[in-house]
Chain A
Amino acid sequence: MIARPASLALALATAVGMAPAHGAAGGAASPGALFDPVARVVMSPRCINCHQAEAPRQKDAGVLHAQQVVRGKDGHGSAVLQCAACHQATNTAQGKVPGAPNWHLAPLSMRWQDLDKKGVCEQMRDPKRNGNRKGGTQVIEHMTSDPLVLWAWNPGNNRTRPPMSHQEFLKVLEQWAEAGMPCPP
């Protein structure tokens, strides 16, 4: 929170300089609109269901995870009902049970629960709340290589995927990062 005014000022200054090109490319009315396509992905169920505070959610409706699963001490579930009790390194049971290496909730600091688009944007560019990722490059790296992120585009069992391809997502993410990570007003 304390560091944000400085980074916001820098972000806006950068964004203003680059806004025309990106505005034209994305049809954006303001620099913050560059976050719109990013938000459509990260706020979709496959992503936001595990960026929760106390408990993961499931399905496209985001219902609380069955079996009263909770975050626990470190995002891996309660002491003896851990995510790995059911979630293996790959999908199992003909895809019905999701799986990827080290299945877990996003860290508590990275929760998006109850945040609007602006709130998610501000969280994603704040190293104190984005997993200490200092800048767009590191945020993009997370989105490029994290096995749980990648699972969202290959969820199996006819689960809904994010609303654009992973390649397209990285492209709009890069555009947002290059513009200084501007957020909606």
Chain B
Amino acid sequence: MISLNINGKAAQVDADPDTPLLWVLRDLLDLSGTKFGCGMALCGACTVHIDGQPTRSCVMPVSGAVGKRIATIEAIGDTPVGKRVQQAWAEIDVPQCGYCQSGQIMAATALLREIPKPTDKDIDQAMSGNICRCGTYPRIRMAIHKAAGQRGES
């Protein structure tokens, strides 16, 4: 059995140590808010936080997450910053198809925790690994600025 700390709670899973964390979350723990996109860390749909840092769970072996704090989209609204991000997302109506949006929100929340008043450049450098095939990037940028309590630069 592998012991994990997920969203502040202890979890025990029976999984091969090489199993990608994403499959442990989705298939063993029913935390299906985190999405499978490319399986190669190229799109960001599977982004979770590992000790606060956005991480692609599709390529992280579950063994790599042992002893670390794992946070997923299911609990991000329990944090003050995550809640602000979700509210901004809803007010601006960011998603189109929505598939990438849990990853986008995880990345945006980590950004605002680290840089509470990000510039457009900060946003580019934080969010460029999260792809949106619907092209909602302008709304994502707007929502991040809104969650930061600032007007956008552009």
Which residues of A come within 8 Å of B, CB atoms?
Answer: 66-70, 72, 78-82, 84-86, 88-89, 92-93, 96-97
Contacts and interface: CB of A to CB of B under 8 A. Distances in A.
A79 B125 contact: yes
Contacts of B61: 88, 92
B64 A79 contact: no
B111 interface: yes
B31 interface: no
In the complex, which of the residues A68, A78, A80 has the most CB atoms of chain B within 10 Å of its own CB atom?
A80
A84 B125 contact: no
Contact of B59 (A68, A78, A92): A92
Contacts of A97: 40-41, 59
Contacts of B111: 79-80
B93 interface: no
A86 B56 contact: yes
Contacts of B56: 85-86
Contacts of A93: 39-41, 58-59
- Of B42, B54, B111, B125, most buried by chain A (CB within 10 Å of CB) is B125
Given A86-B59, A93-B59, A97-B59, A80 B41 contact: no
Contacts of A67: 42, 128-129
B114 A80 contact: yes
B106 to A, nearest CB: 10
B54 A81 contact: yes
B128 A81 contact: yes
Interface in B95-115: 107, 110-111, 114-115
Contact of B126 (A66, A80, A86, A89): A80
Given A88-B64, A93-B40, A81 B125 contact: yes
Contacts of B126: 78-81
Nearest to B109: A80
Contact of A68 (B64, B107, B125): B125
Contacts of B107: 80-81
Contacts of A81: 54, 107, 125-129
Nearest to B38: A93
